[in-house]
Amino acid sequence: MINLVDLRRQFKSVEQEVLQAIAEVIEGGQYILGPKVKELEAKIAGRLGVTEAVAVANGTDALVLTLEAYGIGPGDEVITTPFTFFASAEAISRVGAVPVFADVDPVSYNISPSEIEGKITEKTKAIIPVHLFGLPADMDEINEIAQRHGLIVIEDACQAFGAMYKNQAVGSLGDAACFSFFPTKNLGTMGDGGIITTSDRELADKIRKLRTHGTTKKYFHDRIGYNSRLDEMHAAILLINLAKIDEWNQRRRELAERYRTSLAGVSDLTLPVESDHCTHIYHLFCIGSQRREERMKKLLQAQIQTAVYYPRCLHLQQVYAPLGYKTGDFSVAEALSERLFAVPMHPFLTEQEQDQIISILKQKDEN
C-alpha cells in the first residue's frame, strides 16, 4: 500500500537523534514546559520574525486560548471559512462566540476576501483565515478589511508551517497565529502539540496564564484557565523536525511539481495552483475530479491510499443546524467538498511510487 503519509519513514530518517533526545529528556527529569519547550518557542518565534511564541497542548487549544485571550465570547461573531477542518469553527463555538462563514475562492480554496465584507456585523470581532492544505490565504486583502472594520485577524496556520506569503512567514501575517503539531501535519510530533505566535506581548502573557490554570504565580489564580501545555518530549522531537522542515517542505514542493507536470493534460483533473507571491508547502495534495469516487476506487485497487478533505462543509454540519445555513449557501465550498480528493504526499514518497500513482491517474477510462 502506498499511504497518504508515512510517519514510520519520517521517524526512520531521524531515529538516532529522536531516541537520544527522548533519553535526555527522561534523564533530565523535567517533563512539562521545561528548557526544550522554551528553546522551541524561541526558535519558532525567531524563524517567523515574531516576538512571542507560546506552546500549548494542540492546535485546537491554540485557537481556543487565543480567542479567549482576546476576550472573544458570547455575543460575538467570528468570520471563517466553511471549507476547513472542523476545529477552526469549533474553537469559535467553544468560547461561546458564533462562527459566521464566508465562501472560498474556487482557485485557492481559501476564504475569499470579497465574500468577507458582506458578513461583517456589529457583533463581528475577528476573522480566522485558514491557510488550507499549506497555501497562504490572501492576507493583504484580509488585513485591509480587518483594519477598516477594527477586527482581529487570527491565522489558522495548522496546515502551513514554513509557507511564505510575499516573502513573509505564515504565522507572522495577522495579529496572532495558531499551529498544530499533530503527527500528520507537515511539522508534527509523535503526539499532540500546538503553538501560538504573535508580536503582542500582552496577548502572549494572557495565553501563558490561560495554559496553566489562570496562574502567573503557582497556586495563585486570577482567572479560570486550562491545562494546555506542551510536553518536553514533544518539544525535543519538534526541535529535531524543525531543523528538517525546510528540506521536507522543499521535497513536498518538488513532488507537487512532478504531479502537476505529469497530470497537466488529464481532462477531468483539477490540480492545485501556485500563485507567484506564495510558497505552498503541500501539507496535502488535493486533486479535483467530477468522477471522484471512480478515481478513488481505481487508486485503491492499485493499493494507493486516498482520502477526502473535506466531505462535508462546516455550515452543513449537523451540530451547526441551529445556525440556519442550507445547501447552496456556499456553492464554491460545496462543489469542492464533492470533487476534491487527496493523493499521497509526504517528503518520503519515492518518485517510483509517485510514478505508479500518476500512471493510474493517466489510465484511459476502460468503461
Ligand X SMILES: *Cc1c(COP(=O)(O)O)cnc(C)c1O
Q: Please, what is the minimum distance in Å from the beta carbon of residue 84 to ligand X? A: 5
Among 80, 110, 143, 159, binds ligand X (CB under 6 A): 159
Among 10, 58, 249, 337, binds ligand X (CB under 6 A): 58
Per the CB < 8 A criterion, the answer to whether 272 and 256 are in contact is: yes
Q: Please, what is the minimum distance in Å from the beta carbon of residue 88 to ligand X? A: 5
Estimate to the nearest angstrom the gap between the alpha carbon of 365 and the chain centroid.
35
Q: Please, what is the minimum distance in Å from the beta carbon of residue 136 to ligand X? A: 13
Strand order in the sheet with 194-198: 52-56, 194-198, 176-180, 152-156, 124-128, 77-80, 98-101
Q: Please, what is the minimum distance in Å from the beta carbon of residue 336 to ligand X? A: 15
- How far, in Å, CA of 361 to CA of 276, rounded? 27
Q: Which is nearer to ligand X, 60 or 110 (CB)?
A: 60
User: Minimal CA–CA distance to 138: which of 173, 116, 113, 164?
Assistant: 113
Q: Which is nearer to ligand X, 10 or 60 (CB)?
A: 60
Q: Which is nearer to ligand X, 105 or 192 (CB)?
A: 192
Q: Which of residues 70-109 bind ligand X (CB under 6 A)?
A: 84-85, 87-88
Contact call for residue 59 and ligand X (CB under 6 A) = yes
Tell me how far CA of residue 219 lies from CA of 49, 66, 212, 223, 329, in angstroms: 34, 23, 10, 12, 49
Q: Which is nearer to ligand X, 135 or 349 (CB)?
A: 135
Q: Select from 39-47, 105-113, 156-164, 231-239 the region that touches ligand X (CB under 6 A).
A: 156-164
Q: Which is nearer to ligand X, 53 or 158 (CB)?
A: 158
Among 50, 69, 130, 357, binds ligand X (CB under 6 A): 130
Among 70, 109, 133, 182, binds ligand X (CB under 6 A): 182
Estimate to the nearest angstrom the gap between the alpha carbon of 311 and the chain centroid.
17
Phi, psi of 67 (to 5 degrees): -60, -45
**What is the number of the residue whose Cβ is closest to ligand X?**
59
Contact call for residue 128 and ligand X (CB under 6 A) = no
User: Minimal CA–CA distance to 211: which of 234, 228, 198, 231?
Assistant: 228
Cell digits of residue 19: 531516541
Phi, psi of 111 (to 5 degrees): -50, 135
Among 156, 175, 231, 232, binds ligand X (CB under 6 A): 156
Q: Which is nearer to ligand X, 181 or 358 (CB)?
A: 181
> Is 233 in a helix, a strand, or coil?
helix
Per the CB < 8 A criterion, the answer to whether 316 and 331 are in contact is: no
Residues that bind ligand X (CB under 6 A): 58-60, 84-85, 87-88, 130, 156, 158-159, 180, 182, 192, 194
